[in-house]
Amino acid sequence: MPTTPKPGFRFPSAFTILFALIVLVAALTWIIPAGKYTRVPSEALGRDVPVAGTYAPTEANPQGLFDVILAPIAGFYDPGSYAANAIDVSLFVLIIGGFIGVVTATGAIDAGIARAMVRLKGRETWMIPFLMALFALGGTTYGMAEETLAFYVLLIPVMIAAGYDALTAVAVILLGAGVGVLGSTINAFSTVIASDAAGVTFADGLMLRLAILAVTWVVTVAFVMRYAARVKADPSKSLVHDRKAANEAHFGTQTTAGPATFTGLHQIVLILFALTFGVMIWGVSLGGWWMAEMSGLFLAAAIVIGIVAHLGEAKLVEAFVNGARDLLGVALIIGLARGIVVVMDAGLITDTILHSAEVSVAGLPPTGFLLVVYWIEVGLSFFVPSTSGLAVLSMPILAPVADFAGVQRELVVTAFATASGIVNLITPTSAVVMGGLAIGRVPYEHWLRFVWPLLVVLTLVIMAALALAVSFGATP
C-alpha cells in the first residue's frame, strides 16, 4: 500500500541556499570593519593589485535590505573587482540549451547513444578515466571551467544509458576538470597569473604541481569509478535513485520498444555536433575566445544543424526556445551566486578579510606558514571563486610575507592553486558548480554527501605534498 512521506527536514534548494548566503554576507558587512589596500596598476596582470602593508580602515558601507534584493540583479552585470560578468555565462548556458534542443529534435542524439551503447557493451566503465583525463587536461592547461557547462547535456544521457546515473556524469565532468584546475600546471587563469603577481615564473614549482596533479587525478578517478560500479551493480545505491525515473524521462533515456535507427543524416548531424565542440576548444585555448564568441558559435551551429536536418523554420525555432527554457533555472542560479561577491565587495570587507590573513601568518615557521596559507586560501576561495580574481587579490599580499618565513614564493602559488581548486569543487558561490548540478538535476546536498570523502583524501594529499616540499626546500 502507498505510504505517506514522513514530515521532516528538507534541504533547501540551490536558490534558497544562495540567497541565504547573500543575506549572511550582508550581515557580516555590519560586523566586519571596512578597509582597503592601496592598489597600483600592473601591466603584466592588466589590472590593479593590492600592495602589502598598505591596509587602512575606511568608512563602512554596510549592506541593507535594498542591497540584498538588488544583489542577484547586480550579479548578472556588475563585474566587481575580481570576477567576470555572470550575464556572459548565463547567456552562454541559454544558447547551449537551445543548441542541444535543436540537435535533440533531429533524433541524432538518441540514435547515436543507442549505437554507442551497442559498441561499448561490457566496456562502458573505461569511458570514465578517458573522459576525466580529457577534462583534467583542459583544466590544468587553460582552466577549463565555464566551458564544461556545454558537456553536461551531452554526457548525462550517455552515462544513464550505460547503466550509471546523472551524478556519475556530473562527477566525471566537474571532478575531471576540477582536479585539473586543482593541479594547474600552465593554467593561464590560475598559476600564470598567480606567479606573475607573486614575482616568480610559472615554471617555478611546476614539477611539484605535476606530481600533485598525477596523484589527485588517480585518486579522483578511482573514487568515481568505484561509485559508478556500485550504481551499475545495484541502481538503488545511487544517491539520486529517487530521481531515476524523472531523470530518464528528462534526458530522454527511457527504454523504448527498440533501438533508434541510426541514419546517414544522424551521422552528419553528430559530426557537426562534435565539430562544434572541437572548434570551441580550439577557440578558447588558442584563439582567444571567451563567452561571446562561444555563444555565437553554438547559435550558428544550431542554425546550420537545423537546416541540414530539414527541421524547417517553425520547428527549429521551437526546439531552440524549448531547449533554452530547460536551462533557464541554471542561468538564474549563476547570477544569484555572483550576487554574493557583489555584496562583499560593496560592503568593503574583502580587503579586511585579506588583511586578517596577512597578520595571521606573520612569525610562523616555514611548514606552519605554508599550511596556514593553504587554509587561508581555502577560506578566501569561498568568497572569491574566480581563480584569476583570487590570484590578483591574495598573491601580492601573501607572497612577499613568505620571504620572511623562509618559504619559496612558488610554494605559496601552489598552495593558492590547490586551495582554490579544491574549494571550487563544492562552493555554492561558483556558477560552474551550481550550474553543473542544476543541469544534471543533482541536489546540492546530494553532491556534498557524495564528494566529502574525496575532499578529505585530496586535502590530506595536498597538505602532505606542501609539507614535504617545504621540508626538502623543493624548487624545480
In a domain, 17, yes or no: no
Nearest CA-CA partner of 201 in 320, 44, 330, 435: 44
pLDDT in tens, the chain (476 residues): 444 444 555 667 767 877 888 899 899 999 999 998 888 887 656 667 788 778 899 999 999 999 999 888 887 876 554 444 678 778 887 898 898 889 888 888 767 766 766 676 777 788 899 889 988 988 888 777 877 887 888 788 888 888 899 999 999 999 999 999 999 887 767 887 788 888 888 888 889 999 999 999 999 999 999 999 999 999 999 999 888 888 887 776 544 444 457 788 888 998 998 898 788 878 876 787 877 888 899 999 999 999 999 998 999 999 999 988 877 877 787 777 778 778 888 898 888 888 888 888 877 899 999 999 999 999 888 877 778 778 877 888 888 888 878 889 899 999 999 999 999 999 887 878 988 998 899 999 999 999 999 999 999 999 999 999 998 864 44
Cell of 50: 593590492
In a domain, 9, yes or no: no
pLDDT at 400: 84
Answer yes or no: are the C-beta atoms of 351 and 51 closer than 8 Å. no
Amino acid in position 401: V
C-alpha–C-alpha distance, residues 442 and 455, integer Å: 18
Nearest CA-CA partner of 172 in 159, 187, 190: 159
Does residue 78 sit in helix, strand or coil?
coil
Domain range for 439 is 29-39+62-471
Answer yes or no: are the C-beta atoms of 225 and 128 closer than 8 Å. yes
C-alpha–C-alpha distance, residues 325 and 97, integer Å: 7
C-alpha–C-alpha distance, residues 174 and 177, integer Å: 6
In a domain, 51, yes or no: no
In a domain, 344, yes or no: yes
In a domain, 239, yes or no: yes
84 φ, ψ (degrees, to nearest 5)? -85, 165
In a domain, 54, yes or no: no
Which DSSP letter does residue 261 get?
A: P
Our CA angle for 410, 414, 420, nearest 5°, is 140
CB atoms within 10 A of CB 14: 23
In a domain, 422, yes or no: yes
CB atoms within 10 A of CB 365: 11
C-alpha–C-alpha distance, residues 6 and 59, integer Å: 51
pLDDT at 11: 63
pLDDT at 4: 46
Structural domain count, the chain: 1
How far apart, in Å, are the Cα atoms of 42 and each of 190, 196, 392?
A: 16, 10, 10
pLDDT at 179: 96
Answer yes or no: are the C-beta atoms of 410 and 399 closer than 8 Å. no
Answer yes or no: are the C-beta atoms of 341 and 430 closer than 8 Å. no
- How large is the angle between the packed helices 152-161 and 108-119, nearest 10 degrees? 50
C-alpha–C-alpha distance, residues 288 and 388, integer Å: 16
pLDDT at 113: 64
Which DSSP letter does residue 83 get?
A: S
- Of all helices (H) and strands (E), which one includes residue 285? helix 264-285
Amino acid in position 81: S
pLDDT at 10: 63
Dihedral sign for Cα 307, 312, 315, 318, please. Answer: positive
Cell of 95: 544558447
In a domain, 52, yes or no: no
Answer yes or no: are the C-beta atoms of 431 and 389 closer than 8 Å. no
pTM across the whole model: 0.74
How far apart, in Å, are the Cα atoms of 98 and each of 259, 311, 325?
A: 25, 14, 8
